[in-house]
Structure 1
């Protein structure tokens, strides 16, 4: 079906999910909305996150999307079930795919989770992990400085490394062999995170598993794009187009077109 997939996030982090969907489903068109002017969501009240998330959803529904991906862990934790209940198209979040991937990879059933304050305090990953395996040992930590680092495109260097080291010190005395990046901004810091946490720990980003779930749901609902077409993606940001473009182009490794500033 020649209609776009909508992807929403509090900022640029959801590009990590959009990129993986585009890789796995190269015929599909993506309409992405990043609410960069109000990022981060993780420290905001639940009601505010839900209201902002609905604004992005309504914007994309006007674009006739056929499926919605909530590529923000905080928005997934607070708003996923409500949105699934109230709109008619398929809606997926990023928490359960990330949890499944972590449980596939862990050898000692000891898993770390890092995310925003809102995501960690919601315990959404604990519930998702334990719904699959009650015996899993979970260590969680809110890493509030990470999203501002990414949104400023500060991904390397001594300052970024020191922030990552301070934030992950909590895990040095644990037995985790798997770490879930419970915020879609965090994969942009993944090289630093992997360096600090150590090569013995598998770092899990939910993008790959989420893209597989998107593919399966589109197939089940007979919504896959089967025509041999060249997709025309659109990227909307509520913040600086220039900064969004810089981060997006670096992440994709190629200049992106159709980057547009909007007001929600």
Structure 2
């Protein structure tokens, strides 16, 4: 059986990448809903419809669990899908606001996300639960997903865009930058250059995969490996794994050029993982 992981586009590869490292014995189905990317600028009703279609696809392809590797889709549709498909473990991802507040040392916390995620009650409720001192600010970065989908990760245009978005914030007052969209992980090097050196970048990828492992273990669905899960497993050994099938909006990717592009994205994510 497979573990299904999906996103509107390439952002969800951040979760798959981490899962392949921690769970090399598992088989994965990765689904990028590129026909509808980006989710973050769509209506709630549209996103719910897209997510429902993807989960039905996952069920028909023998998935024992599904990871919604998209902060926007999680915020909009996770609870609804869990109620609708109660027999299926569905794991969502949420911005790592709680650990960021805990580690901030009293400094402010800036959460960057898509417009839809910022305005959803799920994120606002999360902030209210963990931010007693009112340290958290939310910032929409709608253009960054589009840069990512074009494969434009380091450029003058990306830098200018982020500088303009951060212009109204006194960044020296912040201690943590929470990457609240899986697409944003591709830009860690640019974020790092733009932020004061004391600011720590944090995302929810590792926590999501650990939650996936806990859920699978509880249900007796986790395939145990001979060695302990290790987030420092060498990517060079894992990158040629045949345990992953890649789909774009229901279409199996077999083209060598597309698969080569995915390999390059994994290589970038491996570099970003170490920042």
Q: Are 1:73 and 1:119, in contact at CA under 8 Å, matched by a contact in 2?
A: yes
- Tell me if structure 2 keeps the 8 A contact 1:109–1:135: no
Deviations 1:204-233 (A, max 9, x none): 1211111111111111111111366x7621
Match of 1:110 among 108, 111, 119: 108
Which of residues 82, 87, 103 in structure 2 aligns to 1:84? 82
Matches for 1:175-194 after TM superposition, within 5 Å: 175-194=173-192
1:22 corresponds in structure 2 to: 20
Deviations 1:76-131 (A, max 9, x none): 111000011111111111116x2333234322162111111101111433321332
Cα distance, 1:244–1:56 mapped onto 2, change above 3 Å: farther
Whether the 8 Å contact between 1:126 and 1:138 is mirrored in structure 2 is no
Q: Of 234, 242, 264, which residue of structure 2 is paired with 1:250?
A: 264
Unmatched 5+ stretches in structure 1 = 255-264
TM score, norm. by length of structure 1: 0.87
Counterpart of 1:45? 43
The 5 A counterparts of 1:1-264 are 3-87=1-85, 88-95=87-94, 98-108=96-106, 110-172=108-170, 175-226=173-224, 232-238=243-249, 245=259, 247-253=261-267
How far 1:12 sits from its partner (Å)? 0.5
1:7-52 deviation digits (Å, cap 9, x = unpaired):
1101000001110111111111111111112110111110000001
1:214-254 Cα shifts (integer Å, max 9, x gaps): 111111111111366x7621111138967854542222229
Asked if the contact 1:101/1:209 (under 8 Å) is kept, the reply is no
User: 3-state DSSP class of the match of 1:179?
Assistant: strand
Number of aligned residue pairs: give it.
250
| Aligned-residue RMSD, C-alpha | 2.3
TM-score (norm 2): 0.83
Partners in 1 of 2:163 and 2:194 — Cα distance?
6
- Is this contact kept in 2: 1:115–1:143, CA < 8 A? yes
State the Cα distance separating 1:57 from its structure 2 match.
0.7
Give the distance between the partners of 2:259 and 2:77, measured in 1 at CA: 28
Q: 1:105, 1:202 within 8 Å by CA — same for their partners in 2?
A: no
CA displacement at 1:65 relative to structure 2: 0.8
Alignment gaps of 5+ in structure 2: 227-240, 269-275
Higher mean alpha-carbon deviation, 13-22 vs 240-249, is at 240-249
The answer for the alignment partner of 2:234 in structure 1 is none
SS at match of 1:95: coil
Aligned position for 1:262: none
